Amino acid sequence: MLDLIHELWFLKRDILSDDFDRALFRLAQEVPMTIHEYPTGASCWTWRVPEKWTCHEAYLETLDGRRLLDYAHHPLHVVSYSLPFEGIVTRQELLAHLHVHPHLPEAIPYVFKYYDRDWGLCASQPLRDSLTDEVYRVVIRTTFEPGVLKVGEYVIQGESRQSFMLVAHLCHPGMVNDDLTGVVVGLDVARALLATEKPYYTYRVLILPETIGSVAYLSQHEDLIPEMVGGLFLEMLGNDSPHALQGSFQSDSQVDRCLVSALRGLDLYSYSAPYRSVINNDERQFNAPGVRVPMLSLSRVEPPGSPTRPYREYHSSLDTPDIVSQERLEASRQVVLSLLQTWERNQYVVNKFKGEVFCSGYGIWIDYRINPEGHRRLFEIMERCDGERTVADIATEIGISFQAVWEVVSLLQEKDLVWLSRVPSPTYPR
């Protein structure tokens, strides 16, 4: 995954841009993707697809021709979707258009003005501080022209048309953790899913430009929305922080219960938190009114209270391959695959038995004198196998991991004591 990151990260992946397309086509060589196209001006619910933006050249010079910053050196030197501008400006006017990072003096910040437009440059704090001339020459040669917004979709067809959505955004020029990491993890997950036997759910992996990409896709696939049973946004997965799982707007949904109880069993240092409390991204479009797909988000955002949240290098030129590691990307890929595995497994557990099970007779007895905790858990799980509770419901009720419940349910299934059902099958006698 890190190789692909090295190959793509420095591309100028603005939301509609030649480099975005280049990156997407490169990914399409990795897995077979459908590329959905939405032309500039296309109406997407309340939105419109913006123009393609290109920055041909941009720099800041002293009047005697000393070049102070150059877009050729770093794509963040120009505000994404900056208006074109050429001219001699006073120091004061320049400073009003020259952005710096709020707390990383050495970094070039990432600034974008997709809709509320202006011209603008970005620089480090020391460079800004060194500007003492009365006037400077600014050259920003950008063009806005009709283009095509592109969304890559990779589908792993399951037995059911019910779909689980995996989404990551490919935009953000010259940056890595946000969110090229989510993209490469998502692709690797897709590859792994393809290699296994046919899943029950259909999985749709979407690689898109942030926000407008999701809105465009959803508005042009309204027929699919009722089939979307849940989703997971993949976000910032390479930096050095524990996994954070952000719940969906419908915190009580089966997807929420399943993934939250499953993460507990996967990663001791991870944490879960409510909707909108970790990091906001395209899961918002899926959770929104008129869509209401319960989409969670997995990231490596620093825990609440950290002063550098979401992570220190966020939205800056310091978000480079140096801050991500192949090891962490692989760990995240494994967490995602395990979460999806539990989602596949999350069914209603229907008892074939009545009363308590004759544990000794089935060889599943746990002696309470030797292992009181295990004994207690075994019985707490068995007594909830009633066709009205899923594995995730049982885990949530008892407050243990999905995996711990699954272990017992598997054993019961093996002993032909329960069966699993995709729909509730109550066995209540009245």
Question: Which of 17, 82, 253, 351: binder of a copy of itself (CB under 8 A)?
Answer: 351
Strands 163-169 and 202-208: parallel
428 near a copy of itself (CB under 8 A): yes
Q: Which is nearer to a copy of itself, 168 or 349 (CB)?
A: 349
The string of DSSP letters for 60-98 reads EE-TT--EEEETTT-GGGB-BTPPPEEEEEEHHHHHHHE
With tokens 């989510």, the residue in question is 182
Which tokens go with 278? Answer: 């970790």
Half-sphere exposure of 231 (CA within 13 A, CB side): 30
Residue 373, CA distances (Å) to 360, 379, 395 in order: 18, 10, 15
- Nearest approach in angstroms of CB 317 to a copy of itself is 18
Q: Interface mask (CB under 8 A) for a copy of itself, residues 40-79, using x and -?
A: -----xxxx-------------------------------
- Kindly indicate which of the ranges 140-148, 253-261, 264-272, 361-369 contains the residues binding a copy of itself, using the contact rule CB under 8 A: 361-369
Q: Interface mask (CB under 8 A) for a copy of itself, residues 376-405, using x and -?
A: x--xx-xxxxxx------------------
Query: By CB under 8 A, how many residues form the interface with a copy of itself?
Result: 50
- Nearest approach in angstroms of CB 131 to a copy of itself is 23
Question: Which of 85, 112, 353, 419: binder of a copy of itself (CB under 8 A)?
Answer: 353
- Nearest approach in angstroms of CB 48 to a copy of itself is 7
- Nearest approach in angstroms of CB 87 to a copy of itself is 27
**d(C-alpha 26, C-alpha 30), whole Å:** 7
With tokens 């459908």, the residue in question is 34
Which tokens go with 412? Answer: 């019961």
- Nearest approach in angstroms of CB 10 to a copy of itself is 26
112-115 long-range Cβ contacts below 8 angstroms, 24+ apart: 112/79, 112/80, 112/81, 113/79, 113/80, 113/81, 113/82, 114/15, 114/50, 114/80, 114/81, 115/50
Q: Which is nearer to a copy of itself, 65 or 355 (CB)?
A: 355
289 near a copy of itself (CB under 8 A): yes
Which tokens go with 52? Answer: 């393609």
Q: Which of 267, 243, 79, 261 is nearest to 173 (CA)?
A: 79
**d(C-alpha 379, C-alpha 383), whole Å:** 6
**d(C-alpha 179, C-alpha 235), whole Å:** 6
Question: Which of 82, 163, 177, 219: binder of a copy of itself (CB under 8 A)?
Answer: 219
Half-sphere exposure of 356 (CA within 13 A, CB side): 10
Question: Which of 11, 156, 215, 378: binder of a copy of itself (CB under 8 A)?
Answer: 215
Strand partners, 154: 205
**Using CB under 8 A, which residues numbered 90 to 119 contact a copy of itself?**
114-116
- Nearest approach in angstroms of CB 175 to a copy of itself is 18
221 near a copy of itself (CB under 8 A): no
- Kindly indicate which of the ranges 125-133, 219-227, 264-272, 319-327 contains the residues binding a copy of itself, using the contact rule CB under 8 A: 219-227
Question: Which of 65, 305, 307, 361: binder of a copy of itself (CB under 8 A)?
Answer: 361
Residue-wise burial string across 198-237, b where 16 or more C-beta atoms lie within 10 A, e elsewhere: ebebbbbbbbbbbbbbbbbbbbbeeebeeebbbbbbbbbb
Q: Which is nearer to a copy of itself, 133 or 397 (CB)?
A: 397
Question: Which of 3, 134, 322, 356: binder of a copy of itself (CB under 8 A)?
Answer: 356
- Kindly indicate which of the ranges 79-87, 159-167, 287-295, 331-339 contains the residues binding a copy of itself, using the contact rule CB under 8 A: 287-295
Site of interaction with a copy of itself (CB under 8 A) = 45-48, 114-116, 211, 214-215, 218-219, 222, 225-226, 249, 276, 284-285, 287-292, 351, 353-358, 360-362, 365, 376, 379-380, 382-387, 417, 427-430
